[in-house]
Amino acid sequence: MIEGQLDYLSGIPAFETLMSLVAQNIQVTPEVKLDEKGFTHRVQNFETPELRPRVLFSKRALVRYKCQFDVLNGALVKKSAESLCAGACLLLGKELLLTNRFAGAAFIAHAFEKLRATYMQEDHVFEHMLQGLRENEQGALINFFLPLAHEIGHLERSQALAPADIHSEKFFDTYRINYERIWPIIGDLDYVGSQKNDQSPLFLPLLREEVISDWFAVCAVFAVICKTTKNGEFELLSDFSNLIMFPLVAAFEATCLKEWPSTHFVQEVLLATQCRYSLLIDSMRATAKSIFPKNHAEIDGAITEIVKLYKESLGLIWDCAIQLNSLIRELMRLSDAEVAKYIGDRTSSAQWMPLHSYLLDVLEDSKGYALFESNRIALRRALNSMVNFETVIMTDNGFIAIPKRSDAS
Residues within the interface to Zn ion (CB under 5 A): 210, 213
Nearer to Zn ion, 194 or 213 (CB): 213
Nearer to Zn ion, 213 or 267 (CB): 213
Nearer to Zn ion, 120 or 161 (CB): 161
3-state helix, strand, coil in the chain (%, to 5): 70, 5, 25
Nearer to Zn ion, 252 or 352 (CB): 252
Nearer to Zn ion, 159 or 213 (CB): 213
| Category of 391 on φ-ψ map: left (φ > 0), alpha (ψ -120 to 50) or beta | beta
Distance from C-alpha of 312 to C-alpha of 91, rounded to nearest angstrom: 21
Q: How many CB atoms lie within 10 A of CB 340?
A: 22
Q: Which residues pair with 401 in a beta bridge?
A: 392
User: Are 150 and 246 spatial neighbours (Cβ–Cβ below 8 Å)?
Assistant: yes
Beta strands in 1-60 (DSSP E): 31-35, 42-44, 54-58
CB of 213 to Zn ion, least distance (A): 5
CB of 196 to Zn ion, least distance (A): 20
Distance from C-alpha of 186 to C-alpha of 388, rounded to nearest angstrom: 45
Beta strands across the sheet bearing 31-35: 31-35, 54-58, 42-44
CB of 210 to Zn ion, least distance (A): 5
CB of 344 to Zn ion, least distance (A): 42
Q: Which residues pair with 54 in a beta bridge?
A: 31, 44
Nearer to Zn ion, 96 or 211 (CB): 211
CB of 252 to Zn ion, least distance (A): 15
User: Are 261 and 246 spatial neighbours (Cβ–Cβ below 8 Å)?
Assistant: no
Distance from C-alpha of 398 to C-alpha of 181, rounded to nearest angstrom: 51
CB of 143 to Zn ion, least distance (A): 16
Residues with Cβ within 8 Å of residue 65, at least 6 apart in sequence: 143, 147, 249
CB of 214 to Zn ion, least distance (A): 8
Nearer to Zn ion, 154 or 356 (CB): 154
CB of 230 to Zn ion, least distance (A): 32
CB of 387 to Zn ion, least distance (A): 44
Nearer to Zn ion, 35 or 210 (CB): 210
User: Are 406 and 393 spatial neighbours (Cβ–Cβ below 8 Å)?
Assistant: no
| Continuous segment of H or E residues that includes residue 395 | strand 389-395
Q: Which residues pair with 31 in a beta bridge?
A: 54
Distance from C-alpha of 338 to C-alpha of 404, rounded to nearest angstrom: 22
User: Are 79 and 318 spatial neighbours (Cβ–Cβ below 8 Å)?
Assistant: no
Q: Give the max Cα distance, the chain.
A: 78
Which residue, 161, 147, 166, 211, is CA-closest to 18? 147
Nearer to Zn ion, 64 or 101 (CB): 64
Nearer to Zn ion, 146 or 320 (CB): 146
CB of 273 to Zn ion, least distance (A): 12
Question: Which burial class, exposed, middle or buried, applies to 344 when counting CB atoms under 10 A from its CB (0-12, 13-18, 19+)?
Answer: middle
Residue nearest Zn ion, Cβ-based: 213
